[in-house]
Structure 1
Amino acid sequence: MTSPEKDTNTMRALQALENSDPSVRLRAALAVGTAPDPLFVDTLVERCAIEPEFSVREMLTWALIRHPPALTVPKLTDQLRSERAQARSQALHTLSKIGDRRAWPALTRALLTDPDDEVARSAWRAAVVLVPPGDEPELADVLATQLGRGTRDTRLSLSRALVALGAVTMPILRAAMTDLDPHVRAHAIATERLARDPDAGVEFAIEEAKRVVALGAIGEEG
């Protein structure tokens, strides 16, 4: 049975998470994480879906990590079906930090190929953390369908995910290097280069891939 004082403090913290001042919300998330309470979990998850400030979202994630996975993981996996992209992205981000493989079945192909780049990137990072031993080849096959996608940051996220899966990705990357799409070929070449030399600059790897593709196109014209 909780004391009236604790109930009052809990209510104040929950209200502060919705304050218009982001610094107040940040402090509230810190306080909630410092003194975890199951009563906070629903509000933390709901706030992650709409919180506009990155630093506050990170603190909300930290606060959720401080609570038992048995309480947080089911709530977060429910968010993966949300129509709100931020709800899906932030839930995936938090699940990757918790690292509980009970969340793995919720990481569907639809999430791994989500049309929203932030959701997809979060799904790739979470999948690499949560994939059960032995399921890496299947995951790599799905991730490879996204080669050539998006901005530099999106491509880098995918490359890092593929590299993190290890040797199972090499045959897939080699096959992608002959893809008809030059963007897929360039991305596959850059990813293979990073796998061989993780310390190589990403820009160097991508520029090298572009040169290889350009040379290939010249050769075909000849």
Structure 2
Amino acid sequence: MMVTRQDTDVTRALHGLEDDRSHVRLRAALAVGTAPDPRFVDKLVERCAVEPEFFVRDMLTWALTRHPVSMTLPELLREVHSKRAQARSQALHTLSKIGDPQAWPAITRTVLVDADDEVARSAWRAAVVLVPEGEESALAMVLATQLGRGGRETQLSLSRALVALGDVIEPALLAAAAAPDPIARAHALATERLLRDPDTGFEYAIEEAKRVVALGGSGQEGR
């Protein structure tokens, strides 16, 4: 069988994706995205699950978006249920970039409340992109159960996801603002502040909300 120039380029790129040097892997991912080929899809998905460098992972995602959805979507949907947290997180991140509505059924409650913060954050971003019209309120209710979760970056990600849904989140925030957990209450109040005033910085909003909660308020007084 004659080996073509294209076959040689594919083989070189596949090897490059596994090179020990991150700059080589980055160049290989760029090459793969520049010249898509069905033979790359499995390796791209496989590398997303184990690639240690953020910039390389981002290039792997870009390369996947350059391939036909019919080829990438089934692979990514399987990865959403992987035992490896990075595989789940990166698959969800890639699905958010592809934005195909066929992926929405994979964004289950289990995925949205994943115990791993990075997976959950990726799921929140994907959910906001993929949610069908009319499902926003139900999504907001699930996301609101995560208010108060994690550190500042995780809380900021959740607030951004909620705010992106718009005014439909108000009932969920109202309920969360009366929750027994003071951290969840403060997070709900800060998110509501960001919804009403997008120019408010998250740091200011969360500190102000903590002050209100510490003083025994719910942020609903006078409304």
TM over 0.5: yes
Question: Number of paired residues?
Answer: 217
Residue 87 of structure 1 and its aligned partner are, at CA, apart by 0.1
Find the counterpart in structure 2 of residue 124 from structure 1. 124
CA RMSD of aligned residues (A): 1.3
Q: Distance in 1 between matches of 2:72 and 2:199?
A: 36
Corresponding letter in the other structure for 2:149 = R
Q: Distance in 2 between matches of 1:167 and 1:160?
A: 13
Residue 73 of structure 1 and its aligned partner are, at CA, apart by 1.1
Matches for 1:1-222 after TM superposition, within 5 Å: 4-216=4-216
Q: Give per-residue Cα distances to partners, 1:28-64, cap 9 Å, x unaligned.
A: 0000000001110010000000000001000001100
TM-score scaled by structure 2?
0.95
Find the counterpart in structure 1 of residue 221 from structure 2. none
Q: Distance in 2 between matches of 1:12 and 1:180?
A: 58
Specify the SS of the correspondent of 1:165.
helix
Q: Distance in 1 between matches of 2:3 and 2:64?
A: 23
Residue 138 of structure 1 and its aligned partner are, at CA, apart by 1.0
Q: Distance in 2 between matches of 1:111 and 1:176?
A: 21
Distance 1:2-1:180 versus aligned 2 partners, 3 A rule: farther
Q: Distance in 1 between matches of 2:2 and 2:183?
A: 59
Q: Give per-residue Cα distances to partners, 1:82-137, cap 9 Å, x unaligned.
A: 00000000000010001001000011111100000000000000000000101111
Q: Give per-residue Cα distances to partners, 1:115-172, cap 9 Å, x unaligned.
A: 0000000000000000010111111111011011000000010001111111110011
Q: Distance in 2 between matches of 1:13 and 1:115?
A: 35
Corresponding letter in the other structure for 2:180 = L
Residue 74 of structure 1 and its aligned partner are, at CA, apart by 1.1
Residue 175 of structure 1 and its aligned partner are, at CA, apart by 1.5
* Identity among equivalent pairs (%): 71
Q: Distance in 2 between matches of 1:28 and 1:178?
A: 51
Which structure 1 segments of 5+ residues have no match? 218-222
Residue 9 of structure 1 and its aligned partner are, at CA, apart by 1.1
Specify the SS of the correspondent of 1:159.
helix
Distance 1:109-1:67 versus aligned 2 partners, 3 A rule: same
Residue 2 of structure 1 and its aligned partner are, at CA, apart by 9.0
Q: Distance in 2 between matches of 1:161 and 1:6?
A: 42
Q: Distance in 1 between matches of 2:184 and 2:6?
A: 56
Find the counterpart in structure 2 of residue 220 from structure 1. none
TM-score scaled by structure 1?
0.95
Specify the SS of the correspondent of 2:215.
helix
Specify the SS of the correspondent of 2:51.
coil
Residue 5 of structure 1 and its aligned partner are, at CA, apart by 1.6
Find the counterpart in structure 1 of residue 220 from structure 2. none
Q: Distance in 2 between matches of 1:79 and 1:153?
A: 24
Corresponding letter in the other structure for 1:168 = V
Residue 25 of structure 1 and its aligned partner are, at CA, apart by 0.3
Q: Distance in 2 between matches of 1:67 and 1:198?
A: 36
Q: Distance in 2 between matches of 1:3 and 1:65?
A: 28
Residue 66 of structure 1 and its aligned partner are, at CA, apart by 0.7
